Structure 1
Amino acid sequence: MATDITDIVHAVEASAVMRLLPGRPRLLALGEPTHGEDTLLGLRNELFRQLVEQEGYGTIAIESDCVAGLAVDDYVTSGTGTLDEVMAHGFSHGWGAFAGNRDLVRWMRAHNVRADQAGRPASERLRFAGVDGPLEITGAASPRQALIALHRRLSAWLSADLLPCTAETLDSLLGTDDRWTEPAAMMDPGRSVGQSADAAQLRLLAAELAALLDTQSPHLLTAASRDDLDRAHLYARTAIGLLRYHHWMADTAPARLTRLVEIRDQMMAHNLLALAERGPVLVNAHNSHLQRGKSTMRMGGAPLEWWSAGALVHAQLGGQYAFLATALGTIPHQGVDTPPSDTVEGLLYARPEDQCLVDAARLATILDGRRPAPRVSPWFGYAPLDPLQLSDVDGVVFVKDVVRGQLRLVNSPLGHG
């Protein structure tokens, strides 16, 4: 597919990203087609640094447990805990073990204390957030942590007669956490507690506790800090989302798995919209969670189709949401070799740049009628770029070769180690 695209290829820099967009978006999404590669994490870190220093971005959000991520945010904003502790306990999906994530957290903490060594004002400190629910592919967490934390905060701010229940009632209904985290429940609905009488009562109580945040908002605005209220809302969203997730884990309807992936992305979307209210955010997650179109996958042998978090956020924010999809050339250690020349990845791989940013709209126009072939990956963990979705992407970030264990930090102060 011999095509000259030199005029639409740029360096992967914040300034080049902004030139592709009509204005600075409240949510800038950087997708990735595979997880756990430090080459991609290094690129993300450098882009975030530039967005902070040149464009005023103040928050980075990643595809990790939103409740666990509060510990990381406490560390980068106020130094609570240690770096080792937050890397061990502040991430889900094993993300805390990756050098790129450790470097990000270390740099954010250093940035927040660097202003003449006196520290930055709270309003100017960088923030960290997880946007995923407390979910793993094999199941979901107990709603205990979120429910109890929400109840504890409301109890501190409101008189007891306003609350729909006591903490003891919640504890009794929740029971032991292992009844919620039963591994077999993902494939066997009969092993899930999600549609028990206790779970139904907890869903009602969670909704009532969340409603108090709205009905008592005039008082709460004077009784609590903005951060405390934001966290209370996070706990409320998480508790309600987890209880819905467990409900559908216990269901036997054909739509069961579709509902589960829908709920996960809805939880992510709600978290992203809440973050966007306090300033511009860079979010990093899988392309399939951030794209504007519908997402598809096979799970349990069945094809699933649902609206991603990016699609839901775009429906709310419109032009204030921008999406950069990352595409790759090779991942040698996973058997992903040089892409065929008739694919979009093949076209980009033929260029000399190790990394580049491509104007997706103009690329789609150039390729109009040529119908590049979709790339097929020999490894299930890499999802190639869908050429039919180019028109729904603001930019394509292309990385020629993903090298195991290598952080590609060009002129970056984020150290490795």
Structure 2
Amino acid sequence: MAFDTELLPLVSRRPHLLAIGEPYHGEPAFPRLRNRILATLAGHGFRSIAIESDRAAALVVNDYVQGRRDEVDLRTGISHGWGAHPATRELVDWLREHNENVPPTDRVTFHGFDAPTEISGAPSPGPLLRELCEYLGAATTELDRLVGEDDRWTAPEIMYDASRSPGRSPEAAALRGLAEDLRSHLYVDAPRFIGDTSAEAWNRARVLATTTIGLLTYHAAMAEPGTQSQRIGRLLAVRDALMAQNLLDILAVERDRGPVLVSANNAHLQRHPSRWDTHWEGQDLAAQWNGAGSIVSPLLGDKYLYVAGSLGASGPVGLGQPEAGTYEERLGPHTGIFAPPACSDLRARVTDLLGYFPLDAATIETCDAILHIGSEPGAADAAGIASRPGVTETRIEPGSEMPSYTWGDRFFFAGADRMRPFATIVGHDVPGFDERSRLSEPGRYRLNIAVGRAEFRNLFGYGPEEFAGHSDKLDFAQTDHLMPHPAYAVQGWASVVNPGPATADEVERLLEQARARAADREHRRNR
């Protein structure tokens, strides 16, 4: 699932920024698809990726992937919780390995392009300013007095009471002036600083200064009174303005090396203004603002390309089949990159999933393509498995010479070994052999994982060889419940019918464990 064919028309347009969105951060397949897409684009001249993470914090991650440091803590190097996501670790590991095996000019740079902020709050500017002062050799006595206690900047009450924020205090204004002065000093004496340290160290200090000024701007916005909708809309607008500034700065740094792949939520990348209508913290909220994409797009013209993310259905996040007549339903059951549907009779999807941004008419009219995770049962699971490192997939196509009860079944392998899958997704009963999961009923499918004998015993309290004595007590038709495979438990396989939120974390662990075991077996076979 590398999307080589689908990506070529976009690459041929020679963009400076290729932005690929996702409609919902909770779907684990999207960041893994991003990783696969980057691996493909690196073969077409792309030399950097920018993700929705704190720009200043990401500098240490780039040092790691460039080989300038031996280890990195992704929990601090990548913000907004993304550092804990398995796909993030896979991305960083791939970048490190890729960069070790190519000339320096072909290495891929890692960037964050976000501010260190959340809707619910923002950190103290103190740590950033102190690090900047240390680089410049500037005293921090006045800085410490102006910042005060760091926790006064992060008090949870600020989100609900603007008067609690120090963002428009005299001290905050003085800190912003200080940050501007420090940035000016950085440029005034740039030759000396670069000579005494390095261009990389000087650039880090420059990013720290820019990030600090943006952070203080955000704190000032938090201190402005207004309704909750007004305040959230203002904060979203400021955050995206900072994102846009960062993207333009990253582009200025990277333009001579090659295009930049940008990955974030659709709301940050789309060309038209963003809107968020939701019920949050007991209130109805409505916010509209210009996202980073709507700011950057008119500045770059046809050098900005936007691929909107679309999610048909997903068990892990609890998103069911799209209703008839919606854009997601028209895009169809399969996963891929598609042209926007040219239909005026379609409508936006309606769902209660908080944080999910379905496709709408404005997105369809202004995007260049759509990365769609299909709506057929198991499509999101399949996309998430097939886009893991080194995984290949075999799908039995409908109408093939294989028995009809196997049509649509998917088999996932680690590497070139096509004999022993580590996971499968099936959507039909096998007459007379495997019928207890009731897979022939509409909308049902089963994910099967080769967990191995030891893990099987850990999961179920008995070994595969003892399965026959327990089989009659199990309801194999139960959904979103991990249990022995009804037919292949004796070989150490587990299964889940229609995996959903209840089994998502355990399924993730077992899939990665199974993939790693299969990859190790493949490696030993090829030695």
TM-score, normalising length: structure 1: 0.84
1:295 aligns with 2:274: yes
With over 3 angstroms needed to count, the CA separation of the structure-2 counterparts of 1:277 and 1:293, relative to structure 1, is same
Instruction: Point out the more displaced range, 137-146 or 19-28.
Output: 19-28
**Partner SS, residue 288 of structure 2:** strand
Tell me the amino acid that sits aligned with residue 292 of structure 1. R
Structure scoring higher RCO (CA < 8 A, sep ≥ 6) equals 1
Q: Please name the residue that 1:125 is paired with.
A: 107
- Tell me, in whole angstroms, the C-alpha distance in 2 between the residues paired with 1:240 and 1:343: 43
- Tell me, in whole angstroms, the C-alpha distance in 2 between the residues paired with 1:269 and 1:23: 22
Tell me the amino acid that sits aligned with residue 356 of structure 1. G
Instruction: Point out the more displaced range, 401-410 or 275-284.
Output: 401-410
Tell me the amino acid that sits aligned with residue 63 of structure 1. E
1:359 aligns with 2:334: no
Percent identity of the aligned residues? Answer: 37
**Shift in Å at residue 223 of structure 1?**
6.0
Tell me the amino acid that sits aligned with residue 44 of structure 2. E
- Tell me, in whole angstroms, the C-alpha distance in 2 between the residues paired with 1:180 and 1:81: 33
Aligned residue pairs, count: 381
- Tell me, in whole angstroms, the C-alpha distance in 2 between the residues paired with 1:109 and 1:153: 27
**Shift in Å at residue 385 of structure 1?**
0.8
- Tell me, in whole angstroms, the C-alpha distance in 2 between the residues paired with 1:136 and 1:406: 27
Q: Please name the residue that 1:163 is paired with.
A: none
- Tell me, in whole angstroms, the C-alpha distance in 2 between the residues paired with 1:344 and 1:256: 31
**Partner SS, residue 172 of structure 1:** helix
- Tell me, in whole angstroms, the C-alpha distance in 2 between the residues paired with 1:213 and 1:315: 31
Any idea what the Cα deviations from partners look like across 1:313-363, whole Å, max 9, x if unmatched?
Answer: 11322222111001011012333111122111111225xx3x111123xx3
**Partner SS, residue 25 of structure 1:** coil
2:9 counterpart (11, 19, 28): 19
Q: Please name the residue that 2:53 is paired with.
A: 64
Instruction: Point out the more displaced range, 35-44 or 13-22.
Output: 13-22
Report if the CA contact (8 A) 1:38-1:405 is conserved: no
Q: Which protein is richer in helix relative to its size?
A: 1
Structure 2, unaligned stretches of length 5 or more? 393-413, 415-511, 517-527
1:203 aligns with 2:176: yes
- Tell me, in whole angstroms, the C-alpha distance in 1 between the residues paired with 2:264 and 2:249: 17
**Shift in Å at residue 101 of structure 1?**
1.0
Q: Please name the residue that 2:252 is paired with.
A: 277
Q: Please name the residue that 2:347 is paired with.
A: 373
**Partner SS, residue 339 of structure 1:** coil
Any idea what the Cα deviations from partners look like across 1:182-208, whole Å, max 9, x if unmatched?
Answer: 111111112211122211110111122
With over 3 angstroms needed to count, the CA separation of the structure-2 counterparts of 1:405 and 1:50, relative to structure 1, is closer
Q: Please name the residue that 1:39 is paired with.
A: 29
Q: Please name the residue that 1:149 is paired with.
A: 131
1:395 counterpart (365, 369, 394): 369
Tell me the amino acid that sits aligned with residue 193 of structure 1. P
- Tell me, in whole angstroms, the C-alpha distance in 2 between the residues paired with 1:404 and 1:253: 45
With over 3 angstroms needed to count, the CA separation of the structure-2 counterparts of 1:20 and 1:183, relative to structure 1, is same
**Shift in Å at residue 275 of structure 1?**
1.2
Report if the CA contact (8 A) 2:267-2:274 is conserved: yes
**Shift in Å at residue 290 of structure 1?**
0.5
Tell me the amino acid that sits aligned with residue 378 of structure 1. D
With over 3 angstroms needed to count, the CA separation of the structure-2 counterparts of 1:204 and 1:59, relative to structure 1, is same
**Shift in Å at residue 226 of structure 1?**
3.5
Report if the CA contact (8 A) 2:306-2:368 is conserved: yes
Q: Please name the residue that 1:385 is paired with.
A: 359
**Shift in Å at residue 224 of structure 1?**
5.8
Report if the CA contact (8 A) 1:333-1:404 is conserved: no
Superposed counterparts of 1:73-84, under 5 Å = 73-78=62-67, 80-82=69-71
**Shift in Å at residue 301 of structure 1?**
3.1
Report if the CA contact (8 A) 1:21-1:394 is conserved: no
Instruction: Point out the more displaced range, 217-226 or 228-237.
Output: 217-226
Superposed counterparts of 1:14-413, under 5 Å = 14-20=4-10, 23-52=13-42, 54-78=43-67, 80-82=69-71, 85-115=72-102, 120-121=103-104, 123-155=105-137, 166-216=139-189, 225-253=198-226, 255-279=230-254, 280-298=259-277, 301-350=284-333, 353=334, 355-360=335-340, 363=341, 366-367=342-343, 370-400=344-374, 401-403=379-381, 406-409=384-387, 412=390
With over 3 angstroms needed to count, the CA separation of the structure-2 counterparts of 1:220 and 1:392, relative to structure 1, is farther
Any idea what the Cα deviations from partners look like across 1:219-238, whole Å, max 9, x if unmatched?
Answer: 66766644233322211221
**Shift in Å at residue 243 of structure 1?**
0.6
**Partner SS, residue 402 of structure 1:** helix
